[in-house]
């Protein structure tokens, strides 16, 4: 019933507008076309000025009412540069907007049709064309250079003390991986992916068909889904990838975002400024959480692809990390040495000691031995 009522109201509004328009047309015919046009020009000229004043007041009111109240200040040190860049861009474009809009609406009022007024036309002016081409080009070049400089910082080499976390997007959630005690990420292979037991495809077993051997670095990696812990004041580097389609790591509070592309790892790094508990006090919201969202349409469940970032102190992080079990033992608890394993059950290979030259470590060295040979 409500739908029919809404449709009836919409139809009625259109009918009323149509009748008013027709009535105005008839009045114009009775008064005369010339007189009607001049009267309409005066009304439109006045409305132009009124719209200009009310519009600028509205923009000012929205700025005062909403500034800093949607996301607040940047929660990362590097994000402050993004805010500075944004404010600079708004200032430059805002000045241009203000000048052009004031001139546009004021000219519409001042130079409306009047008796004995004649318009002056000039088809070409080299000086004006140079001015409105060269100046915007210089200003935009400066803005682009500032943006590129910041981009190269965020995506460049992270500080040596940075916490490294691998972020993998999937339909429709996030998987986070930390290196274990060996501080090396184990290799992975997409054909090894099994939902629930090996969600990122770590190489835990020999696979002669794929010419693969179990990677000793993969047995102590720590994997968790939907929630990641990072440290206040310590740079964190995200190594980002995708398990299926293109996603996008959106970190609105930290002013960062980066595409998650299948088969092509991307990186970004930033330094958190406040713990989650501190942000609860700053925002006055006891339910505040840092969110990691997907900023790229990735399917029907895109809207639900959200994760949580918990920013803690270094001491809290160390305590939390000490309580985590390697993903291998989470998938196969019967192989956990800390648990009572059945007699004869194979144990996980120990991570290679520092300086050990196992087959896996030797192959890594030959191939350049970086922190994580992502596949």
pLDDT at residue number 200? 94
State percent of the chain over pLDDT 70.
87
Q: Which has more confidence, 357 or 75? A: 75
Rounded to two decimals, what is the model's pTM? 0.76
Residues 250-262: tens digit of each pLDDT: 999 999 999 999 9
Higher pLDDT residue, 365 or 215? 215
What average pLDDT does range 87-93 have in this prediction?
Answer: 93
Rounded to an integer, the average pLDDT of 147-159 is 94
With cut-offs at 50, 70 and 90, classify the pLDDT of residue 150. Answer: very high
Residues 335/347, Cβ–Cβ less than 8 Å: yes
- Residue 212 pLDDT: 84
Please report which confidence band the pLDDT of residue 371 belongs to, taking 50, 70 and 90 as the band edges. Answer: very low
For residue 14, the model assigns a pLDDT of 87
Query: What residue ranges define each of the domains in the chain, with the CATH number in brackets?
Result: 163-337 (2.60.40.420)
Q: What is the pLDDT of residue 350?
A: 53
- pLDDT tens per residue, range 330-358: 999 988 887 754 544 455 555 554 334 44
359: pLDDT strictly greater than 70: no
What is the predicted pLDDT for the residue at 340? Answer: 56
Task: Evaluate if residue 373 carries a pLDDT over 70.
Answer: no
Q: What percent of the chain has a predicted confidence (pLDDT) above 90? A: 59
């Amino acid at each position: 019933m409500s739908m029919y009522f809404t449709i009836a109201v919409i139809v009625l509004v259109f009918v009323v507008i149509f009748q008013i328009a027709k009535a105005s047309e008839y009045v114009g015919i009775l008064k005369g076309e010339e007189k009607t046009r001049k009267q309409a020009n005066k009304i439109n000229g006045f409305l132009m000025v009124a719209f200009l004043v009310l519009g600028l007041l509205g923009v000012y009111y929205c700025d005062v009412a909403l500034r800093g109240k949607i996301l607040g200040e940047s929660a990362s040190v590097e994000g402050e540069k993004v805010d500075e860049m944004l404010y600079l861009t708004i200032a430059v474009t805002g000045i241009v907007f203000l000048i052009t809009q004031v001139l546009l609406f004021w000219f519409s009022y001042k130079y409306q049709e009047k008796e004995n007024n004649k318009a002056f036309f000039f088809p070409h002016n080299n000086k004006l064309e140079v001015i409105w081409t060269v100046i915007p080009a210089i200003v935009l070049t400066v803005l682009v250079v500032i943006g590129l400089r910041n981009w190269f910082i965020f995506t460049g080499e992270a500080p040596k003390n940075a916490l490294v976390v691998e972020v993998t997007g999937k339909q429709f959630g996030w998987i986070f991986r930390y290196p274990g005690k060996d501080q090396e990420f184990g290799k992975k292979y997409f054909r090894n992916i099994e939902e629930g037991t090996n969600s990122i495809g770590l190489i835990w077993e020999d696979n002669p068909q794929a010419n693969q051997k179990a990677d000793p670095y993969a047995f102590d990696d720590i994997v968790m889904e939907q929630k990641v812990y990072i440290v206040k004041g310590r740079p964190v580097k995200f190594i980002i990838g995708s398990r299926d389609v293109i996603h996008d790591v959106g970190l609105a509070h930290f002013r960062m975002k980066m595409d998650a592309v299948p088969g092509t790892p991307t990186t970004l790094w930033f330094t958190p400024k406040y713990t989650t508990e501190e942000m609860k006090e700053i925002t006055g919201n006891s339910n505040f959480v840092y969110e990691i969202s997907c900023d790229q349409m990735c399917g029907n469940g895109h809207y639900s692809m959200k994760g949580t970032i918990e920013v803690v102190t270094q001491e809290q992080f160390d305590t939390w990390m000490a309580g985590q079990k390697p993903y291998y033992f989470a998938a196969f608890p019967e192989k956990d040495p800390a648990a009572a394993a059945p007699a004869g059950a194979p144990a996980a290979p120990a991570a290679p000691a520092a300086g050990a030259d196992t087959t896996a470590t030797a192959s890594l060295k030959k191939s350049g031995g970086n922190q994580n040979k992502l596949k």
